[in-house]
Amino acid sequence: MNSHKKLRRSTSNRVISGVLGGISEYLGWNAVLVRILYAVLAFTPGINIIAIIGYIIMMFTIPSDTPGTGSAFDQFKSTLSGGTSSDKSRKVIHNVEEKDVHDDQKRGQ
């Protein structure tokens, strides 16, 4: 019986990037409770910077729960590299005649 769960960013239970929704789904907790606990950490002096930086790191490292998409870092990296090779392909049209649309109006047709 293979029933171990994987930590993923939630696409259905998200406010900013789905990190806290994914953590709540992973732990089986209420998402509102996880968000309140994070807000308390984010506004606690001394650990607020660590909580915010931790959230940003989790946002870029935890993969999304949508099949076929990786972490936000992977998506960002593919965007910088120009996407897939099919995105870079150009369509070439052969045997096409150019015609000025205003030529017919000049001839009175």
According to the model, what pLDDT value does residue 2 have? 47
Q: Token digits for 87?
A: 């995105």
Average pLDDT for 65-70: 66
Q: Give the bridge partners for 64, in sequence order.
A: 9
Can you give the length of the chain in residues?
A: 109
For the cut 70, the answer to whether the pLDDT of residue 88 exceeds it is no
For the cut 80, the answer to whether the pLDDT of residue 38 exceeds it is yes
What digits encode the pLDDT tens for the residues 5-14? 788 887 787 7
Residue-averaged pLDDT of the chain: 77
Compute the 3-state secondary structure of the chain and give helix, strand, coil in percent, each to the nearest 5: 50, 5, 50
Average pLDDT for 64-92: 63
Closest CA to 23 of 9, 37, 12: 9
What percent of the chain lies above the pLDDT cut of 70?
Answer: 70
